[in-house]
Amino acid sequence: MLYQDRHLTVFDKPAGLPTIPSRGGGPSLATETGLLVCHRLDAETTGVIVMARTTAGQRLVSAAFEVRRVEKVYLAVCRGELPDTGVCSVPLGEWRRGRVQIGQGRSAETAWTVRSRARGRLLVEARPRTGRTHQVRAHLAESGAPLLGDEAYGGESGHPLALHAWRLTLPWPGANDRLVLAAAPPPALEATWGESLAALEPTR
């Protein structure tokens, strides 16, 4: 648990736990906690996720996501080529057979900064400005650098999915009008990158 008040509980979600039950059933964050879903992370993505303890809390958080007042920052380990900074604005469509359709569907935008290059890999800070399914994964792959472990989008196999929801800033009454929530990069992401990320800070 990263934060709790009477309306919200914020978790550092582990890999392998979906936000809501999969079609085949099984455990999920929603069923295990009994809390209300405000947004989602892919099952294999780790990091900050906000759940609501009340319907009022769920409405406030969902509304902030809807009008794009929530700032999200992800860390990813990729293999490929990217400029030091960039933006991908390729539309993303429906989810089919484990991936979304790229190049058609709803507007989507992700900005990125390459934080480091080593051992043929890229450490990328990604800031999705919209909230489409698989957005960071699809946009980085489309830009030329799929995530390690992300076989659905051409990523190198043999690794856990190298994507972590690192920071989330949420407008919130009673917390100086803003909650800044952070989850340290997990050991699996550090192992994929090859060194500690504990001292890393966002670019802004």
The catalytic site residues sit at: 42
DSSP label of 97: T
Asked if residue 121 lies in contact with residue 79, where contact means CB atoms within 8 angstroms, the answer is: yes
Tokens 């994964």 belong to residue? 137
Rounded alpha-carbon distances, angstroms, from residue 119 to 11, 67, 74, 77, 135: 32, 39, 21, 11, 26
3-class secondary structure, 116: strand
Of residues 133, 76, 127, 72, the one with CA closest to residue 106: 133
121: amino acid identity, one letter: R
Residues 6 or more apart in contact with residue 63 via CB below 8 angstroms: none
Asked if residue 183 lies in contact with residue 166, where contact means CB atoms within 8 angstroms, the answer is: yes
| Beta-sheet strands, E only, within 89-200 | 92-96, 99-102, 110-118, 121-128, 163-170, 179-182
